[in-house]
A and B are shown apart, each in its own frame.
Chain A
Amino acid sequence: MELLFIIASFIGTALIIILIKNRLVIELLSIGASFVAFISSVFIALKVSVFGIYTPLVFLSVDSLGSIIMLIIGLICLATTIYSVEYLRQETSKNIIGFTRVKQYFILLNLFLMSMFLAASANNPIFAWIFIEATTLSTAFLISFYNKPSSLEAAWKYLIINSIGLLLGFLGTLLYFTTTTNLGGNDFVSWQFLQDNAHNFDPMVAKIAFIFVLIGYGTKVGLVPMHTWKPDAYSKAPAPIGALLSGALLPVAFAVILKLKVITDIAVGPLFSHNLLIFFGVLSIAVAALIMFNAKNYKRLLAYSSIENAGVMAFGFGLGGLGVFAATLHMIYHSFVKVVLFLSSGNLLLRYNSDKIKNVKGALSVVPVTSVLFISGFLIVTGTPPFGIFLTKMQILSVGINTHPVASIIALFFMAIVFIGFLKHVTSMFFEEKQVDIEISDKHIWLIIPPLIFLVLVFGLSFYIPPFLYTLISDVAVKY
């Protein structure tokens, strides 16, 4: 029932927005739909923590991993929708966009959110693929939102690279159905059914299938070397869309890899998928760290940080056992802190009218609250103690040092490089002398509250994990 509420509220809102011309109504409806989604996702998570699974319809089913991801999407969608209202108002007042753009934005935003919820709750791999592809289609125009040559180029790159990746993922996913060919083509094949029949899977086909899946969905996750679209798309999209791409869409795509990984592990043993995940994870951490050091654009810096953290998650999931627990918790922390960082980067962009690091000086005195948010986000995301990401990174490394010492030391080295690189840019942006001609202002409360809430949330979760969430994460660690 809750899932149907979510779908109905997003579809209904998108359709009504097409018909109406009142901006306030559009904004209120969008916030309302996100609120419904947020409340519903909380109820779903609570139900899954008690019953283990939530299956409202045969083709929709949510397990512990799915419910965590839905909770992440629900929280982020509410925050980003509220933020979007004020953010777009500011851009309208600066004549950057007009009403038609705002209308398009909210229609696409609602479709994007709905696609993510459906992808996270799909009970069939092809159904999940359809909705992950739908996220690409709904976000392409959000990335080219400002209709500039650079944003168009970023959107084109995003569309082409993700489409190729997802088609390869599609091929890989379909290969998992070789275990069910005796069923004919008309039966609905659930994740669980594939898992139950995984012992029939030809090991060689399973290996090839997982490689296709890792390349395909890994493109959406942004694992190196399939990451090339990410810095461009994140830097050109409006700040709230960047937060959603990094905080919500990344876990959705990761979940599909993990679900298919479980089936692969049954067919060929866990070593194959684990080694691949560790390889791509460490590679992503290393490449992102080196590029971050010389970043010139603070939104691209955040994109590379997402690539690094996707690498940390892949590394954790590749280690198995306690690594999976830490990687799942890392996924939650990363999603929440990326909201803080992307939304505060949006505030910086509004104030400085530039996303270049060299053009942002003395931000701490110009936008003090935003600066505190961004600096706190930087400390959290780079794994500074005592925040949660420090604990998850240490937990992953402590598991890794026993089983994969070389990979763990390489990962640790590049995590330190990430911190140094990020610190260099933060120092330059926030602590240097401010430009004389810039107005000191941090006055728009609705540009502050959403990232502030997430900062409090990630800070709180660093020290206390609610029992229902702990149950869900523990279940993920057992199943994945």
Chain B
Amino acid sequence: MNILFLKFLFGVMFLTLVFLHLTKKNFLATVAYSIQSLVITIVLFNSFLETNNFYLLLVVFLSLVIKVIIAPIFFTNLIKKHALAFSVSTYFSTPLILIIISILTFIAYSDKFLPLTSIIPNNQALLSIALSVIFMSLFLIINRKGALSQIIGILSLENSILAFIIFAGLEQSPGLQIGVIFNMFIWIIIASVFISMIYKHFGTLNVTSMKNLKD
């Protein structure tokens, strides 16, 4: 696949993360996650084209079904079921979020992380983007007060780590990749069940309303 196209895909991934930080609607956050997962699936498909490993095609298929289709459907159903149109607010204001995102991106491109981004020197630009997306995903989880946003943050973190390892040449055997995807699938189901339980008990997905563990 053309390196420019891959850079474009990673640019899309970066923008979905910025969008996830800015959006106030849960549905749009779900769509952004779906697009991000689609990017990862295309990159995985690229690996299949390069290796012609049939099992990688299975990984691509599972990634497509679980992350691009099923997970967003799960989240959309949760949003509809509990009328969660708007996400819970953030700890930081929007201008501050943009400043922090810029700093995180700068750190990812800095010399401190050169050993990581130059694992494969030809992919340094892509690895730097992937690393900045990892940092931004971590910040998304920390900054969001909503349980659903936190889940999407964790799934984004997983996507960004996958992006990093693909371009660092650290892809595992398809068997292990299927194991990881299966784990994430179970994780998505469990996290979705927890979201329903949180809403049932607390009447909101705002995690700051959970204050029962003071002792």
Residues of A near any B CB (own CB < 8 A):
124, 126-127, 130, 133-134, 137, 140-141, 144, 147-150, 152-157, 159-160, 163-164, 167, 170-171, 174-175, 177-178, 181, 184-188, 202, 204-205, 208, 232, 236, 296-297, 300, 356
What 0/1 pattern do residues 48 to 63 of B give for CB contact below 8 A with A? 0001010000000000
Q: Does B190 contact A (CB under 8 A)?
A: yes
| A32, chain B: closest CB distance, angstroms | 26
The answer to whether A156 touches B207 (Cβ under 8 A) is yes
What 0/1 pattern do residues 135 to 177 of B give for CB contact below 8 A with A? 0001001000001001000100110010011001111111010
The answer to whether B187 touches A126 (Cβ under 8 A) is no
Could you tell me the distance between the alpha carbons of A147 and B198 in the complex, rounded to whole angstroms?
10
Q: 10 A-B residue contacts at CB 8 Å?
A: A137-B187, A140-B194, A149-B202, A153-B210, A153-B212, A156-B210, A159-B191, A178-B168, A188-B173, A236-B213
Residues A130 and B176 in contact in the complex (CB < 8 Å), given A150-B213, A153-B213, A167-B157: yes
The answer to whether B164 touches A171 (Cβ under 8 A) is yes
Task: Choose among A141, A167, A184 the residue that contacts B190 (Cβ–Cβ < 8 A).
Answer: A141
Could you tell me the distance between the alpha carbons of A208 and B116 in the complex, rounded to whole angstroms?
8
The answer to whether A156 touches B161 (Cβ under 8 A) is no
- Across the interface, which residues of A come within 8 angstroms of B172, CB to CB? 126, 174, 177, 185
- Across the interface, which residues of A come within 8 angstroms of B190, CB to CB? 137, 140-141, 159
| B170, chain A: closest CB distance, angstroms | 5
Q: Which of B66-74, B101-109, B178-186 contacts A (4 or more CB under 8 A)?
A: B178-186
- Across the interface, which residues of B come within 8 angstroms of A164, CB to CB? 138, 141, 154, 157
The answer to whether A174 touches B186 (Cβ under 8 A) is no
Task: Choose among B53, B134, B170 the residue that contacts A174 (Cβ–Cβ < 8 A).
Answer: B170
| B149, chain A: closest CB distance, angstroms | 11
- Across the interface, which residues of A come within 8 angstroms of B95, CB to CB? none
Q: Does B98 contact A (CB under 8 A)?
A: no
Could you tell me the distance between the alpha carbons of A144 and B193 in the complex, rounded to whole angstroms?
12
The answer to whether B154 touches A167 (Cβ under 8 A) is yes
Task: Choose among A124, A154, A160 the residue that contacts B141 (Cβ–Cβ < 8 A).
Answer: A160
The answer to whether A160 touches B154 (Cβ under 8 A) is yes
Q: Does B119 contact A (CB under 8 A)?
A: yes
| B183, chain A: closest CB distance, angstroms | 5
The answer to whether A163 touches B154 (Cβ under 8 A) is yes
Residue of A nearest to B150 (CB): A160
The answer to whether A181 touches B212 (Cβ under 8 A) is no
The answer to whether A130 touches B179 (Cβ under 8 A) is yes
Could you tell me the distance between the alpha carbons of A148 and B213 in the complex, rounded to whole angstroms?
11
Could you tell me the distance between the alpha carbons of A127 and B175 in the complex, rounded to whole angstroms?
10
- Across the interface, which residues of A come within 8 angstroms of B80, CB to CB? none
| B35, chain A: closest CB distance, angstroms | 20
Residue of B nearest to A129 (CB): B180
The answer to whether A126 touches B176 (Cβ under 8 A) is yes
Residues A127 and B194 in contact in the complex (CB < 8 Å), given A149-B202, A300-B215: no
Q: Does B201 contact A (CB under 8 A)?
A: yes
Residue of B nearest to A295 (CB): B215
The answer to whether A126 touches B180 (Cβ under 8 A) is yes
The answer to whether A171 touches B161 (Cβ under 8 A) is yes
Could you tell me the distance between the alpha carbons of A205 and B179 in the complex, rounded to whole angstroms?
26
Residue of B nearest to A355 (CB): B215
Could you tell me the distance between the alpha carbons of A154 and B116 in the complex, rounded to whole angstroms?
35
Residues A133 and B115 in contact in the complex (CB < 8 Å), given A140-B190, A159-B190, A188-B173: no
| A242, chain B: closest CB distance, angstroms | 15
- Across the interface, which residues of B come within 8 angstroms of A232, CB to CB? 213
Q: Does B197 contact A (CB under 8 A)?
A: yes
The answer to whether B215 touches A205 (Cβ under 8 A) is no
Could you tell me the distance between the alpha carbons of A320 and B209 in the complex, rounded to whole angstroms?
45
